[in-house]
Amino acid sequence: MNKSMETQGRDQWSSKIGFILAAAGSAVGLGNLWKFPYTAGMNGGGAFVLIYLALIIIVGFTLMAAEIIIGRHTQLNAIGAYRKIRKGWGWVGGLGVLAGFVILSYYSVVGGWVINYIVKAATGAFSTSDINVLGGMFESLTSSTWEPIIYHGLFMAITLGIVIGGISGGIEKFSKILMPSLFIMVILIVIRSVTLPGAAEGIKFFLKPDFSAINVSTILAALGQVFFSLSLGMGCMITYGSYLSKDENIPQSATLIPLLDTGVALLAGLAILPAVFALGFDPAGGPGLVFITLPAVFAKMPMGGLFAILFFLLVLFAAITSSISLLEVVVSFVVDEWNWSRAKATTIISAAIFALGIPASLSLGVWDTIIFRDLVFFDALGFLTDQILLPLGGLMLCIFIGWVWGVDNAVKEATNGGKVKFTIAPIWGFVIKYLAPIAIGYIFITGLIG
């Protein structure tokens, strides 16, 4: 494979829809299905949703376009891309590669829980709607020593198996199957959820903004969620953009991907919150909403057993199309810069990420030592990525385009040298130069102090 790939040049997406589905697949993940509904539930429902939407439009679209532009322009991995445009900037991409490595180590642990929950759902373990029993079940899984590590290994093996196939033959091929299935499953679950008696309360909570619930912490929570959900701030979209052909339309792709991601986040909220209300549970249930509250909801719902399997399968598909993008960021760097074969790079990196996930998983059980502030290792990895590496990466991305490479050069790439329409380019330039770096710098600093 290597010889012929070298002579034929770099692998590319075989179609525009393939790229869109892979990039949307990267964006749609545990962030949408697990984090978004409970974060909205804890931050005033509709008020949070409204701010989230505003930030997606201002910051999300802008940075999505920015990363794809850098990737397509350089046709290189995150580190190589920054360095090719301006010497001395490779380290920004380096922070991204590091972030990808670290995020995947704990993301895969959660992905493993999801596989375990599919098994539980299929074997009828959710026959009770007693929150205490279900809470105990979740706690007992996550704090066990061996079981979650085995499932984490299984999740990493699936991720490896796809990434090793390359861009068009691996990531794109699977995204084209997994993403449409995901859309169908989420719509089926929404229909089930909103037709439950009493669902109207939940729909109202989710869609009707209560402006008194908006405050600084709502805004900060929403901005952090925008980054994580759109896979921004670590060169993921630089890497995916680097496999994009020179005649694809970047402004259009950068609009479609956030739209799809936001669509699924809203549908996930509509799938989960009305059911939670209809069956009398607490929408502010926090991170346990999907793993503890939802199984209780399924137990009380007609045909709940079937919907439980469907739901966790949906979460697994979403998690896999995201985990492959995280792995690809690291693999692409090693293949480009160290000239490793894709097979060798994928295998060795996956093994290393699996290894880092082991202490992360154990830190929720036997190794529950506080290592930083009040955080165990698992949460400390999350803090390092969400509060430090991603916002720093996003901030440097804005500074790099706005002040180092130049908005004009970026716009030239975005329009394929003037051939493609980018009507809002002046607004885009203003946001990337001033508005976005100030907003992101603000959360970065408050996140560190807070």
Contact residues for ligand TRP, defined by CB under 6 A: 26-27, 29-32, 103, 228-229, 231, 233-234, 236, 322, 325-326, 390
Comparison of 45 and 111: residue with beta carbon closer to ligand TRP: 111
For the CB of residue 290, give the shortest distance to ligand TRP in the complex, in Å. Answer: 12
* Residue closer to ligand TRP (CB basis): 170 or 233: 233
Per-residue exposure over 162-193, b if at least 16 CB sit within 10 Å of its own CB, e if not: bbbbbbbebbbbbbbebbeebbebbebbbebb
Structure tokens at 355: 């290894």
Q: Which of 115, 159, 104, 108 is nearest to 141 (CA)?
A: 115
DSSP type of residue 86: S
Q: Which is nearer to ligand TRP, 27 or 186 (CB)?
A: 27
Please state the closest distance from residue 393 (CB atom) to ligand TRP, in A.
8
| Cβ 367 to ligand TRP shortest distance, Å | 25
* Shortest distance in whole angstroms from residue 256 CB to ligand TRP: 16
Minimum distance, C-beta of residue 54 to ligand TRP, in the bound complex (Å): 19
Phi, psi at 372, each rounded to 5°: -155, 130
CB closer to ligand TRP out of 64 and 334: 64
3-state DSSP assignment of residue 26: helix
Name residues whose C-beta falls within 8 Å of residue 302's C-beta, 6 or more positions apart in sequence: none
Q: From the CB of 382, what's the least distance to ligand TRP, in Å?
A: 11
Q: Considering beta carbons, is residue 31 or 80 the nearer one to ligand TRP?
A: 31
* DSSP code of residue 347: H
Q: Which is nearer to ligand TRP, 134 or 319 (CB)?
A: 319
> Residues 39, 43, 49, 52: is their CA dihedral positive or negative?
negative
Q: Report d(CA 153, CA 159) in Å as an integer.
A: 10
Task: Using the structure block, give the residue that is written with the tokens 């869609």.
Answer: 207
| Residue 346 near residue 158 (C-beta atoms within 8 A) | no
- Cβ pair 365, 129 in contact under 8 A: no
Residues in contact with 160: Cβ distance below 8 Å, sequence separation at least 6, in sequence order: 327, 346, 347, 350
**Residues 115, 121, 127, 129: is their CA dihedral positive or negative?**
positive
- Cβ 135 to ligand TRP, closest distance in Å? 23
- Closest Cα partner for 179 from 261, 243, 259, 249? 261
Between 96 and 429, CB nearer to ligand TRP: 96
Residue type, 382: G
Nearer to ligand TRP, 236 or 360 (CB): 236
Shortest Cβ 322–ligand TRP spacing (Å) = 4
- The residue among 82 and 228 lying less far from ligand TRP, judged by its C-beta, is 228
CB 118 within 8 A of CB 280: no
Least distance CB 125 / ligand TRP (angstroms): 25
